[in-house]
Amino acid sequence: MTFGRLIWKDLLRNPLRLALTVLAGAVGVMAFIFLRTVVDLFYMSAESAQADRLFTRAKASITADLPLSYLPRISTVPGVDDITFYGFFGGRYGESQRDFFGSAFVDPPSFMRVFDELMVPPQQVAAFQADPCGALIGKDLAKRYGWKAGDRVTLKGTIYPGEWTFNVRGIYDVRTGTLDTNSLFFPFRCLNEKLPDERKDRVGAFMIRVEDPSRSAAVASAVDAMFTNSPYPTRTESERAATLGFISMLSAIITAVQVVATVILLIILLVIGNTLAMSVRERTRDLSTLRAMGFKSGRVVMLVLFESLAIGLASAGLGVLLAPPLIRGFISVVGSQLGVPANFMRESTLVLGALAAVGVALLAGAIPAVRAVRIPVAEGLRKVA
């Protein structure tokens, strides 16, 4: 009998237990990949941040606003190529949480220049810039509600109370970058003209495009130094750093997800380890017989490790096969709220899940394998499972 056939026979000694172990391992792999993908979703926008863009906000708080009068002063800083502004509007289309999506006011001409990853038909760009209350919406948002150019959309303000009606003038897509396709943008003047005097000409932040990305730090320092002694000091950082700052507010949730993913690996370790320990204990006499026939201790250890490797590979394969449909279903439910592309799935996460399962399986098989060769041959031959 060949070594491979011997492994196969041992694996099939208890087919039901083998099937349940592989299934339990596969569920663990699937859950691990799912949770790792959730973490990847949080960092997706930071990884696509543009190197030549800076983000200037109020130093006091990320929710505080800044005077619009800062814009021409920032534009004079050496190294600044272009600048725009935006502000979070926070409007709601309906009462349900599922009806929430990102909405912000912008300056259309400069916004389109600084965020040049936006893809919009030229005639729609012209219509958006010409309409004081025009709206530019993402393709996924348009698909979600069946909106098209020419439709009227009314949002209920939260930060800015009241009902606000916008005319859909264009639908955008993005090549790359931090913008998603589940947002609505409208001209600042539509909002600013209707605000009380104390709230007029206030924006959320400025987005700066620099001429040379290698000088971004110097430009950021110059901008902040300009307003150090003003009533509204600023904090300027790279787009990536700003995005990570947003993510850091959810650090407790991300850490919890990562901890659960690690616990799942430990569960896989225990499940496979328990199965192999039972199998080795039942075969103590058989393994001792092999050693009595001349099998080296290393050969016996390899026999057990190859069995654990086979279980790990089977669990990894089944888990990797089941994970993508689960993730696609999850994104189809929550993707519109998170601004996540429907086909988001990283091959590296699948590979990590598979490698983790195989590594854990080998680790789980190591202890039973060592115990199997530590039992004296004579004692093992007398043992009855």
Q: What is the pLDDT of residues 215-230, one digit of tens each?
A: 888 999 999 999 998 9
pTM of the prediction? 0.68
Identify any residues that bridge with 202 across adjacent strands, giving them in sequence order.
67
Which residue range forms the structural domain that includes residue 327? 3-46+251-382
Helices (DSSP H) in 283-296: which residue ranges? 284-292
Burial class of residue 196 (count of CB atoms within 10 Å of its CB; 0-12, 13-18, 19+): exposed
157-210 per-position pLDDT tens digit: 888 888 999 999 999 998 876 677 888 999 999 999 888 888 899 999 999 999
Whether the predicted pLDDT of 125 surpasses 90: yes
Asked if residue 221 and residue 144 are part of one domain, the reply reads yes
Answer whether residue 240 is part of any domain.
Answer: no
Domain finish residue from 181, 197, 231: 231
Asked if residue 264 and residue 158 are part of one domain, the reply reads no
Q: What percentage of the chain has pLDDT greater than the value 90?
A: 31
Answer whether residue 53 is part of any domain.
Answer: no
Answer whether residue 310 is part of any domain.
Answer: yes
Asked if residue 351 and residue 302 are part of one domain, the reply reads yes
Asked if residue 81 and residue 149 are part of one domain, the reply reads yes
Answer yes or no: are the C-beta atoms of 285 and 376 closer than 8 Å: no
Question: What is the structure's pLDDT at 286?
Answer: 60
Whether the predicted pLDDT of 282 surpasses 70: no
Number of domains in the chain: 2
* Max Cα–Cα distance, the chain, nearest Å: 95
Asked if residue 31 and residue 145 are part of one domain, the reply reads no
Question: What is the structure's pLDDT at 367?
Answer: 74
Domain finish residue from 198, 231, 264: 231
Answer whether residue 243 is part of any domain.
Answer: no
Q: What percentage of the chain has pLDDT greater than the value 70?
A: 78
Cα 167 to its chain centre, rounded Å, is 32
Q: How far apart are CA 99 and CA 121, in angstroms?
A: 27
Asked if residue 217 and residue 186 are part of one domain, the reply reads yes
What integer is the mean pLDDT of 83-90?
92
Helix, strand, or coil here: 1? coil
Asked if residue 282 and residue 210 are part of one domain, the reply reads no
Question: What is the structure's pLDDT at 364?
Answer: 76
Asked if residue 363 and residue 305 are part of one domain, the reply reads yes
Answer yes or no: are the C-beta atoms of 158 and 92 closer than 8 Å: yes
35-82 per-position pLDDT tens digit: 888 877 776 666 666 778 999 999 888 888 999 999 999 999 999 999
Asked if residue 201 and residue 69 are part of one domain, the reply reads yes
Asked if residue 38 and residue 97 are part of one domain, the reply reads no
Range with lowest mean pLDDT among 6-15, 115-124, 251-260: 6-15
Asked if residue 271 and residue 369 are part of one domain, the reply reads yes
Confidence class for position 245, pLDDT limits 50, 70, 90: low
Asked if residue 125 and residue 78 are part of one domain, the reply reads yes
Owner of token pair 């004579």:
378
Tell me 48's DSSP state: T
